[in-house]
């Protein structure tokens, strides 16, 4: 037995000596650092296979290799952005912050950016679902419009050529697929007897031809005096492309660009139609809430752009300042609306939204990412050490946030309303309604002398714990992420990298998006009253679903994209980072805001919020223990999330609503 152990130790020493020698030669220009790194990982794996279970040293080496992450990027800015994604407290961002050469993109993306002014070969049927939808939604009325215009043109002699043109366009726009819209120009050849060379002078002819034959369009110079060149203006085969979501305009996703007019429309109808004469309050609320989605995207891209072009300190400040601006804008405006209206229901809605964000980030975001990623990659692995840091901070933050609630249940007065007391008949059951712990009117001394100081103490300790977490993960113990930036793809490309948004432009976009976000949040809270007053659904459910998860839609999309790329670590960090920021930054900020301007926000949650949050944190920590994920674990998280939503759906209205 001792001989086997000694032989394994010798083999391990030889492998480590080889590793040291390779590291010394890695600076030689003949060697590729990336290839050396891959070879070293293979050596470590071989070492593990030789002496698995017999050497503590090899176990440590295997653990070191299993959590290593190599970042491959086109340039320094992209590498910096990817490295920021792994840092605790930094907002995770999937899209590129620099321009990507079109030749490096996939064929699907190249087709998205290709021009429609040339004829190309197409195989397959033109009768697709997208083309039929185009005809039903747009094609028929555009065709009728051009047909009616052509009839008007035929009424005059001068308009007959234009009438023919509109008649051709009417047939084209009804079914444009597989047809080429062409423009002809005549070439007048001026030849002289003395000089054999000719000069071709193009004369544009305003004649647009519709060609149903898809063929190569090339200029043909014949020996005749006048010839014609045909230029293709438009040629398409499909109305819809399933990969349209990959298209960007100046680095901005096309959906965020298309939704930007919705923000302007929201502000116009919100501040012009004050009396709801043209648009109802319910419609204004839905439009204002939808406008938050593109603004949240712009804020995220601005944060990622500045962080990628700045050092760690600037990036940390920008993420801490603007990372929670979307949620804080809604919470503060809702509390101000409730304070002005004298309605305590707004504070309960804010608490429901806070709890809903916490539950969604703990259960739904990791769960849906595990399901989608697991269906594509079967089993995915993540860095359990970094996930352990996030889990510990989740325990600390949830425990701190709900400590005043537990304290109030231990020492507060239990108040019930509507009790049927019968002194003559003691055999009847003693029934009470709407029982709760009251700390405002009937037990004010306890709140002022005990609970309020406790709340302020926690509001100081939670941000301090968040700061310690930043120092631990980013400075003193940054090796737990074990990031290695590969220069195989970005060597020599840093000088040619062009960022979409400079730091100045990103800062301007951040400020404008923040102002617009505050305006849209103000409109949404202003018009939420009819919904919470007349809705048959519990106000708890409205808070934990719509108000909590709609602003997080861009983050959900980012997490799913990371999971599809087999980077489940970042998918899990997306939800954990938001959940920790809710407890350690957003709630303390609301407490300090209430201290300077009393809007009636008290850090005491209902039993429903308390036990749902504690159970969710325990469950997700159990799921994260083994460092592996699959679609079954994700399904478990999503099912628990849906069960809690059903619980909120059937729950009675909160106190004050």
pLDDT at 613: 92
pLDDT of 33: 45
Bridge partners, 380 (sequence order): 629
Q: Are 122 and 329 in contact (CB under 8 A)?
A: no
Indicate the burial class of 516 (C-beta count within 10 angstroms; 0-12, 13-18, 19 or more).
buried
| The pLDDT value given to residue 209 | 57
The predicted structure's pLDDT at residue 443: 62
Please, what is the angle between helix 384-401 and helix 452-471, to 10°? 170
d(CA 191, CA 480): 79
pLDDT of 368: 93
Say if residues 292 and 521 touch (Cβ distance below 8 Å). Answer: yes
Q: Look at residue 481 in the predicted model and tell me its pLDDT.
A: 65
Report which DSSP code applies to 582.
Answer: I
Domain boundaries, the chain: 2-190+229-236, 244-650
What was the pLDDT predicted at 256?
A: 87
Q: For residue 631, how many C-alpha atoms fall within 13 Å in the half-sphere facing its CB?
A: 9
Token pair 């037990």 is at which residue? Answer: 443
Q: What are phi and psi of 391, to 5 degrees?
A: -65, -40
pLDDT at position 197, please?
Answer: 42
The answer to whether the beta carbons of residues 201 and 256 sit under 8 Å apart is: no
What confidence score (pLDDT) does residue 459 get? 92
Contacts of 545 (CB under 8 A, 6+ apart): 356, 645, 648
pLDDT digits (tens, 9 = 90+) for 152-171: 999 988 889 899 889 888 98
pLDDT, position 358: 92
pLDDT computed for residue 116 by the predictor? 60
Tell me the pTM. Answer: 0.72
Task: Retrieve residue 443's tokens.
Answer: 């037990």
Tell me which CATH homologous superfamily contains domain 244-650.
NCX, central ion-binding region (1.20.1420.30)
Identify the segments of the chain with pLDDT beneath 70. Answer: 1-73, 115-122, 184-230, 233, 412-414, 417-418, 420-430, 433-444, 478-496, 655-656
Tokens 């052509």 map to which residue? Answer: 150
């Amino acid at each position: 037995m001792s001989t086997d152990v000694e032989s394994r130790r010798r083999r391990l020493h030889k492998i480590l000596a080889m590793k040291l020698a390779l590291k010394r030669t890695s600076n030689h220009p003949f060697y590729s650092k990336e290839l050396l790194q891959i070879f070293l990982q293979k050596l470590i794996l071989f070492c593990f296979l030789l002496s698995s279970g017999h050497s503590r040293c090899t176990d440590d080496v295997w653990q070191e290799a299993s959590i290593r992450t190599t970042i491959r990027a086109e340039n320094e800015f992209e590498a910096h952005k990817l490295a920021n994604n792994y840092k605790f407290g930094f907002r995770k961002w999937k899209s590129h912050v620099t321009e990507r050469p079109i030749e490096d993109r996939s064929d699907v993306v190249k087709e998205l950016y290709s021009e429609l002014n040339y004829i190309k070969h197409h195989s397959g049927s033109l009768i697709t679902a997208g083309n039929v939808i185009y005809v039903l939604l747009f094609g028929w009325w555009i065709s009728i419009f051009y047909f009616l215009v052509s009839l008007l043109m035929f009424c005059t002699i001068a308009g007959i050529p234009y009438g023919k043109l509109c008649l051709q366009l009417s047939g084209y726009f009804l079914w444009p697929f597989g047809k080429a819209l062409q423009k002809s120009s005549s070439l007048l050849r001026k030849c002289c007897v003395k000089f054999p060379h000719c000069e071709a002078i193009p004369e544009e002819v305003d004649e647009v031809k519709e060609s149903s034959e898809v063929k190569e369009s090339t200029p043909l110079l014949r020996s005749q005096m006048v010839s014609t060149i045909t230029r293709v203006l438009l040629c398409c085969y499909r109305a819809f492309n399933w990969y349209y979501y990959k298209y960007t305009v100046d680095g901005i996703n096309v959906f965020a660009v298309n939704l930007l007019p919705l923000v302007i429309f929201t502000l116009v109808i919100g501040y012009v139609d004050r009396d709801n004469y043209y648009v109802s309050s319910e419609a204004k609320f839905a439009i204002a809430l939808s406008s938050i989605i593109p603004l949240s995207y712009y804020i995220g891209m601005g944060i990622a752009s500045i962080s990628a072009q700045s050092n760690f300190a600037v990036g940390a400040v920008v993420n801490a300042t603007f990372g929670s601006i979307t949620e804080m804008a809604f919470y503060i405006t809702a509390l101000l609306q409730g304070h002005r209206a004298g309605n305590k229901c707004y504070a309960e809605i804010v608490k429901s939204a806070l709890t809903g964000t916490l539950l969604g980030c703990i259960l739904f975001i990791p769960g849906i990412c595990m399901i989608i990623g697991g269906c594509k990659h079967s089993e995915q692995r993540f860095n359990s050490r970094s996930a352990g840091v996030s889990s510990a901070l989740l325990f600390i933050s949830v425990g701190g946030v709900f400590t005043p609630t537990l304290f109030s249940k231990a020492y507060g007065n239990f108040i019930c309303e509507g009790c049927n007391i019968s002194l003559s008949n003691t055999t009847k059951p003693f029934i009470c309604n709407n029982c709760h712990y009251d700390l405002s009117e009937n037990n004010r001394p306890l709140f002022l002398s005990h609970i309020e100081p406790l709340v302020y103490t926690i509001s100081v300790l939670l941000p301090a714990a968040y700061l310690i977490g930043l120092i631990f993960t980013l400075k003193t113990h940054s090796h737990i992420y074990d990031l290695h930036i590969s220069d195989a793809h970005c060597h020599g490309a840093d000088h040619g990298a062009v960022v979409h948004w400079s730091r100045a432009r990103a800062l301007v976009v951040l400020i404008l998006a923040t102002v617009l976000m505050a305006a849209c949040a103000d409109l949404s809270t202003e018009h939420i009253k009819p919904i919470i007053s007349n809705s048959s659904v519990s106000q708890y459910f409205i808070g934990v679903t719509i108000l909590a998860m709609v602003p997080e839609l861009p983050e959900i999309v980012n997490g799913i994209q990371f999971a599809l790329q087999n980077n489940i670590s970042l998918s899990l960090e997306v939800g954990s980072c938001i959940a920790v920021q809710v407890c350690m930054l957003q709630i303390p900020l609301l407490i300090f805001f209430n201290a300077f301007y009393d809007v009636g926000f008290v850090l005491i949650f209902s039993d429903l919020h308390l036990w749902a949050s504690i159970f969710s944190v325990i469950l997700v920590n159990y799921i994260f223990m083994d460092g592996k994920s699959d679609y079954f674990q994700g399904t478990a998280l999503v099912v628990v999330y849906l069960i809690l939503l059903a619980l909120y759906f059937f729950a009675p209205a909160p106190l004050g609503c």
